[in-house]
């Protein structure tokens, strides 16, 4: 069975952008999944499980990012990460969160 790839477009709503605290929350959440998860921003691509990579994106307030995940739990990972972006990384997310209108799967 081929690994599913799921993508979702999100917006950074934090007033200070994707600074250390939300970046750390994002990385910790991403690390809970087996899927390979990447963030794409302004032509750059990074490993969402690496705090250094996420910080290097320099995603400021209002930045548009694409979450891209590949693996058997990719859909779940993208849904929870999209919810985290929508909440500004301020809440603990339930297993029933569904925060993305998918850009595409394949």
Which of these is catalytic: 9, 19, 97, 99? 19
CA distance 28 to 30: 6
Q: Which residues contact 93 (CB under 8 A, 6 or more apart)?
A: 29, 80, 83, 84, 87
The answer to whether residue 41 is catalytic is no
Positions annotated as catalytic residues are 19
């Amino acid at each position: 069975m081929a690994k599913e790839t799921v993508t979702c477009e999100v917006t950074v709503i934090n007033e200070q952008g994707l600074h250390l605290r939300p970046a750390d929350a994002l990385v910790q959440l991403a690390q809970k999944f087996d899927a390979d998860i990447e963030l794409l921003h302004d032509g750059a691509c990074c490993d969402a499980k690496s705090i250094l990579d996420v910080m290097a994106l320099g995603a400021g307030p209002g930045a548009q990012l694409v979450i891209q995940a590949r693996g058997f739990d990719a859909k779940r990972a993208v849904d929870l990460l999209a919810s985290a972006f929508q909440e500004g990384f301020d809440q603990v997310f339930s297993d029933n969160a569904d925060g993305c209108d998918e850009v595409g799967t394949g």
